[in-house]
Amino acid sequence: MTMLPTRTIGPFTVSAIGLGCMNLSHAYDVAPSAEDGARLLNHALDSGVTLLDTAALYGSGNNERLLAQAVMHRRGEFTLASKCVLDLIDGQRVLDGRPETISASLDRSLQRLGTDHIDLYYMHRLDRKVPIEDSMGALVRAKEAGKIGAIGLSEMGAASIRRAHAVHPVAAVQNEYSPTSRNVEIAVMDACRELGIALVAFSPLARGLLAGSVRSDDYRDGDIRKAMPRFNGANLAHNLNAVDRFVALAGETGCTPAQLVLAWVLSRGPNVVPIPGTRSIAHLDDDLGALKVTITPELTAAIDAIFAPGAIRGARYPALQQTQIDTETFPDEELA
């Protein structure tokens, strides 16, 4: 197995770039076959990736089942992360942070994964109807029972992070973070640094936009980008102007756009761990090439100039999903 540079998440030492497993079962039209998914997951492990991130929501549990079939025989080679609170039940997205629901969701995930222990277990979203202290209580009890190793939060703001951390130390906060989505820079990043929490960056390639793979909005049915305002119509046409400048900058730098993005994310702090997702072994290899790219102050300034305020138009999420996001928003940010 290849050895990659590492970073720390709570008690775990993981590869500096992990793998988000969502799109092997969820969110981007028809999922690849189980065989193709298994091939990619094993290639990731062979390449030195030691953080695999899944969730109960992804494919209504099918993503966890895929990991069980594909890589759990290599359990000692990676840190396993999954999530609760968000789920897909009978085709409907459900948000439920009650302690009893968290406990039941965890048991289902353990069964699907074919294991008795998940290393890092996140609350996928904040359920505003349930005090976060109550939700954390369920996770603390799960840790005490040996079912999980560390606790994480996803898409939560600084105030919620502090409340949760007061109950029990939080190992990781997983939020969207890329040059096009910088909400964590409002308050979350500072809170994580202060409290010694890792910031796990999902969608660092902006759902393919910054990798140069989104050029039009003719998405297939089942692709979540069809409902995301910044990926459609006039918003997308506007956003591609910035993307084109970014792609050109990557060419001038001597790397691919994906590598430049991931190198930028890694440069944001030693506690930041990006988890790009892909269905392509070639793209995975390309992503890992980011570990050889150096971000200079001049490059940082150039990227900041390309993605200055106004460069990206359109909300990150459709209106209903945005209501489930606790991360702080900018004063002029479009939210629907």
By annotation, the residues acting in catalysis are: 58
CA dihedral 226, 231, 236, 241 (to 10 degrees): -150
Q: Return the axis-axis angle of helices 257-267 and 297-306, rounded to nearest 10°.
A: 110
Q: Which residue has the tokens 């761990």?
A: 273
Within a domain: 232? no
User: What pLDDT score does 336 carry?
Assistant: 74
User: What pLDDT score does 167 carry?
Assistant: 98
User: What pLDDT score does 57 carry?
Assistant: 96
User: What pLDDT score does 164 carry?
Assistant: 98
User: What pLDDT score does 29 carry?
Assistant: 85
User: What pLDDT score does 89 carry?
Assistant: 81
Within a domain: 178? yes
User: What pLDDT score does 7 carry?
Assistant: 98
Within a domain: 311? no
Here the CATH number for the domain that contains residue 280 is: 3.20.20.100
Largest CA distance in the chain: 54
How many domains does the chain fold into?
A: 1
User: What pLDDT score does 92 carry?
Assistant: 86
User: What pLDDT score does 177 carry?
Assistant: 98
Boundaries of domain holding 287: 6-208+258-294
Within a domain: 44? yes
**Model pTM?**
0.97
Question: d(Cα 159, Cα 188) in Å, to the nearest integer?
Answer: 9
- What separation in angstroms does the CA of 122 have from each of 42, 81, 102, 283? 24, 8, 10, 27
**90-124 burial code (b ≥16 CB/10 A, e <16):** eeeeebbbebebbbebbeebbebbebeebbbbbbb
Within a domain: 101? yes
Within a domain: 77? yes
User: What pLDDT score does 91 carry?
Assistant: 81
Within a domain: 69? yes
Question: d(Cα 259, Cα 193) in Å, to the nearest integer?
Answer: 25
User: What pLDDT score does 14 carry?
Assistant: 98
User: What pLDDT score does 312 carry?
Assistant: 97
Q: What is the pLDDT along the chain (336 residues), one digit of tens a residue?
A: 789 999 999 999 999 999 999 999 998 988 999 999 999 999 999 999 999 999 999 999 999 999 999 999 999 999 999 999 999 888 888 999 999 999 999 999 999 999 999 999 999 999 999 999 999 999 999 999 999 999 999 999 999 999 999 999 999 999 999 999 999 999 999 999 999 999 999 999 999 999 999 999 999 999 999 999 999 999 999 999 999 999 999 999 999 999 999 999 999 999 999 999 999 999 999 999 999 999 999 999 999 999 999 999 999 999 989 999 999 999 989 987
User: What pLDDT score does 88 carry?
Assistant: 82
Find out whether 247 and 257 touch, Cβ atoms under 8 Å.
yes
Find out whether 69 and 35 touch, Cβ atoms under 8 Å.
no
Within a domain: 31? yes
Q: Copy the structure tokens of residue 44.
A: 């990731």
User: What pLDDT score does 262 carry?
Assistant: 98
